[in-house]
Amino acid sequence: MDDASHQLAQAIGSRVRAARQSRGWTLDQLAEASGVSRRMIVNVEKGEASPGIAILLSLSDALGIGLPALVEPPHAALAKVTRSGDGAVLWRGDHGGEGVLVAGTQPPDVVELWDWTLAPGERHDSEPHAAGTKELLQVQSGSMRVEVAGEGHALAAGDALAFDGDAPHAYASDAGARFILTVFEPGVGA
């Protein structure tokens, strides 16, 4: 784990622990509510694990705080700037691709803004998000396929797609692609 990943893992761990303790939950209660193993939660809270997006979403949904609250630096201002290169890298592909969370809002209606790069031959399978989740994406460069509930959509630079994020979905590219993704999760923590 590089230094930036280690610092992010430490921050996520302390936020998960604080949110769990503020609810008076034990590790077992969080494990039951999230579907994440107790052992993984212990590793996350100690900052010893770099959990994937699915685990982070399960934990943030169970805690009712939304993914941005786990990974973004706290801020008190009315506006928050994320400088280029400062987003939270929450997915790394086998060939160099990345999923970077660059901005997000607080509950109850959480909106996430992602900057994704898929290297040639990469694929990211996403589990269905909470009911009512919507996703919007636009291909900035390259070409890709988005599968939603088994239906494939071929997209080229400039193309956009809106879909239900509460269905199984995947992003893949044979030649490589960069895309911007927005995820809307209504009623987080409700």
pLDDT at residue number 186: 92
Q: Is 6 in a helix, a strand, or coil?
A: helix
Name residues whose C-beta falls within 8 Å of residue 85's C-beta, 6 or more positions apart in sequence. none
Of the pLDDT bands very low, low, confident and very high (cuts 50, 70, 90), residue 74 is low
Strongest mean pLDDT among 17-26, 68-77, 149-158:
149-158
Contact 71, 24 (CB under 8 A): no
Tens of pLDDT, residues 83-96: 898 888 888 999 99
Domains and CATH numbers, the chain: 3-71 (1.10.260.40), 88-185 (2.60.120.10)
Percent of the chain with pLDDT over 70: 96
Q: How far apart are CA 165 and CA 156, in angstroms?
A: 20
Greatest mean pLDDT range, 11-20, 40-49, 176-185? 176-185
Residue 77 has pLDDT above 70, yes or no: no
Residue 76, pLDDT above cutoff 60: no
Nearest Cα residue to 155 out of 164, 144, 147, 166? 144
Helix locations, the chain, DSSP H:
3-22, 27-34, 38-45, 53-63, 67-71
3-state secondary structure 69-110: HHHCCCCCCCCCCCCCCCCEEEEECCCCCEEEEEEECCCCCE
- pLDDT tens for 33-47 read 999 999 999 999 998
User: Of how many residues is the chain composed?
Assistant: 190
129 neighbors 187 (Cβ within 8 angstroms) = no
Q: What are phi and psi of 18, to 5 degrees?
A: -60, -45
Torsion, Cα 34 39 40 45, to 10 degrees, reads 90
pTM of the predicted model as reported, rounded to 2 decimal places: 0.73
Angle in degrees, CA 131, 137, 8, rounded to 5: 75
pLDDT in tens, 111-136: 999 999 999 999 999 989 989 999 99
Q: Scanning the structure block, which residue is given the tokens 């930036």?
A: 4
